[in-house]
Structure 1
Amino acid sequence: MRSPHLPAKALAACAALAMAAAAHAADLRVVSSGGFAQAYKDLSPAYERSSGHHLLSEWGPSMGATKNAIPARLARGEPIDVVIMVGDALDKLMAEGKLEPGSKVVLADSPIACAVRHGAPQPDISTVDGLRQAFLHASHVAYSDSASGEYIKRELLDKLGIRQQMEGRAAQIPATPVGEIIAHGQADFGCQQRSELKPVAGIDIVGVLPQEVQLQTQFSGAVVRGSSQPQAARQLLDFLAAPANASAIEQTGLEPAAARH
């Protein structure tokens, strides 16, 4: 886990958080999806130091059928205080009564990017036709089982007019990060949230999808209904969304919501 150098404003925010912290430290259980995971990892040590709370962190996709998926965890009644996930999927859980009403905090947007194995020729995907050719020239294409992969499977292949050509050559990968599949040579081209590709060693990110076919995915957090630490949970979400932490979030490949205000 790397330790980011927080700007002076962020350090000031940490100091203010420490003064406002609860008298007794809390164990706060958090599950984050991969898109916001690196930003969360980078910021969590500063939050723990300033608040005195201890974060118990786990990871899982925002959707899908795997046992670690956040909806599946909540359905099993796992004792979770905060979830950080794709905004649309979070809204669905909120409507189902799984999350505290009014507790949603928008954290960042994430574009979809594509990658190849480190050192491999890098296709130019800056245009729609270039992206189309990159898919067609790849022997095996990987995409995720979460928001970006669902978009590729249900919409992008049709927008590119290559659904039939990619049958048997493009696959949705459950649970495992797409970057790892590429790094291990199981695919020679793949696409996922840029923030999920950036931490993976052994790959080169060739670019983001062209604007005409890009899908920005919102990542948000919320307090789980019935949390034993609702005050600390809201405090964590406020900390992650603070303008002082926008630069640390941006460094992970996300576009922080705080920067838009």
Structure 2
Amino acid sequence: KWRSEFGADTIMEDFEFEEKDEVLKYYPQGHHGVDKDGRPVYIERLGQVDCNKLLQVTSVERYLKYHVREFERTFTEKLPACSIAAKKHIDQSTTILDVQGVGLKSMNKAARDLLQKLQKIDGDNYPEVYCFIYSTIGMVDAVNRILQETVSLNRMFIINAGSGFRLLWNTVKSFLDPKTTSKIHVLGNKYQSKLLEIIDASELPDFLGGTCTCADKGGCMLSDKGPWNDPEILKV
């Protein structure tokens, strides 16, 4: 019923998000390349989120549609393209969550409303949540979103985690299933070598220790780099 009412089945054809580049300035997030096993890599730079400016360039309703459209595109285009490129079934992701600068932030009512609606959509309609972690109001919420991850997540790296985040995580993880916590690696600011163990430098943005800049695409967080944009893959 929800899919029909929201238009999820046709949202990729029906909805254009012209303000995407502006939105990504204030909420840097998206897929970029694949890991060494061929899984798509999803990156969020939570410390750079500015929810007030975000909601000046888009509306809550339009952002919700964009959020759902990206879910649909992941399941219908990105994972299948990764499977073709890797010549094996790919149904999991690697996520990098940069929490540098994340702390308790003041948010207006509209920003809180956006976060609540995103979480409701995810919890009610995407229980198999693939890789999105939406958190803009501090460390507790970042952990809450992490805990919504399911078996579709292969592994997550939380980087630039300060002592406060580490303390919170160590407290929370004692209550979690070890199968869940084994997927999540909380790292400080010396994370580069760990990421390069699982992601080739050419697939990793330079700001994370790789060599990719996507200079011709406006930067790595705007490029949507991956097999899903390869003309040869799209022919298959």
Q: TM-score, normalised by structure 2?
A: 0.26
Whose relative contact order is higher, 1 or 2, with alpha carbons under 8 Å and at least 6 apart? Answer: 1
Q: Larger % of strand: which?
A: 1
Q: Highest Rg: 1 or 2?
A: 1
More helix by share: 2
